[in-house]
Amino acid sequence: NKTVPDSTYFNQPYFIIHCRACTWSSEVLLMGALNGLLVVSLEQAVAAPFVSSRLADAGARVLKIERPEGDFARNYDHIVNGQSAYFVWLNRGKESISMDLKHPEEIKLLCSILKKADVLIENFKPGSMKRLGLDFNELREKNKKLITCSISGYGSQGEWSKMKAYDLLIQAETGLASITGSADAPGRVGISVADIATGMYAWSAILEALIARGIKGHGQHIEVSLFDALADWMTVPLLWQDYGEKAPERVGLSHPSICPYGAFKTADGKTILLSIQNDREWQRFCKEILVDSDFAKKFPDNTSRLANRSIVDESVETALEKLSHPEASAKLKNSEIAYSTLNDVQGLSSHPILRRVVISNSEGKINVPAPPAIYDNKPLETLGGVPELNQHGEEIRTEFADSAYIEENR
């Protein structure tokens, strides 16, 4: 019973378990709801690594299976201690092994691992697993507890399943780009929102499947596509189109269906965003910020304000441009009006409530945003390290190759 040194993993007590028969040792961390679960992820890029990283955060042991050349996200850039920002973010706490799955002996090793696994995640091109001789139903016949999860661009069926799919392409295909940007041109959401949405849905589906397994005693197969994930997020614009006969227009930092809701300049050149969510707030805003209660009566509800957006926005703009940012912030806060400041990324980096945790790679420590969930008022302070390519390959092969030999000769 020791303490993990140097924040390489969680800064928590752990046991070293030595197996004489297999001549291997593993570190079992004494925290996390998913301790004891084995996750195998045939992954690359963003969506699938997002899923497995969150399972690793929760204490699961995650084996990241990489091509011999590695996950191509390793080389998106080299900005964080020599590794890419995406790779650092999404691969903490995992064990890396490189495998060339074109070779039968590697498939045999993988099958040996999967006989003991709880979850298999893959984001290969649809049909690739079967071509490798890996059928999900057959895998579950040998390991009834196994939960399998396939992530794709457009699902596993039909002509669309053959299409290559990347984040920006899905943003465009689902119509998200058409409602994002300024009035003059469509735009891309500035992060990989399709990949992240898909990863979040797959993550929650796997957790549901783990609960179901506890009730029913067996695993199941899950499919999640990038298209379906963003289509769900596009429900409100779609309902506008289908039932209101017109999709929302691009309005930049304004809101297509709420007014006033948008960005306004203050006297010192900074930008404040404010949002009036109900008529009670609107009346208070007019009385205390616009100093014009009659204006509230002229446009008493959101429908009338939307119909006269230019007039309403002009009045708000006139009031706020007379105030400095600190003055406007103080008045809005005192009036309990929802507002925020238009920050850049530097502003986020120095934000007073940004929580960070420490992870590490071979070159040193890295500060990243903390996981959003806080359990029992105890936020995590450190997470697992980011693996080098095949860093754990030898140990994993020793561990599971012995298992494969035992199974083969039983």
Active site residue ranges? 255
Backbone CA torsion sign across 306, 307, 309, 314: negative
CA–CA distances in Å: residue 197 to residues 64, 93, 133, 346, 383: 21, 21, 30, 25, 22
- State the number of CA atoms in the 13 A half-sphere of 99 facing the CB: 28
Q: Left, alpha or beta for 181 (phi > 0: left; psi -120 to 50: alpha)?
A: left
Contact by Cβ (8 Å): 292, 245: no
Do 47 and 226 contact (CB within 8 A), yes or no? yes
> Quick one: CA torsion of 1, 207, 64, 28, rounded to 10 degrees?
10
The DSSP symbol for 375 reads B
Asked if residues 234 and 174 have their Cβ atoms less than 8 Å apart, the reply is: yes
Q: Residue 80 forms beta bridges with which residues?
A: 83
- Separation CA 152–CA 165 (nearest Å): 8
**Six token digits for residue 150:** 């396939």
| Residue 19 φ then ψ, to 5° | -110, 110
Q: Are 152 and 162 in contact (CB under 8 A)?
A: no
User: Can you tell me the distance from the alpha carbon of 349 to that of 358, in angstroms, rounded to the nearest whole number?
Assistant: 15
Which helix (DSSP H) or strand (DSSP E) does residue 246 occupy?
none
Q: Which amino acid is at 19?
A: C
Distance from C-alpha of 397 to C-alpha of 409, rounded to nearest angstrom: 18
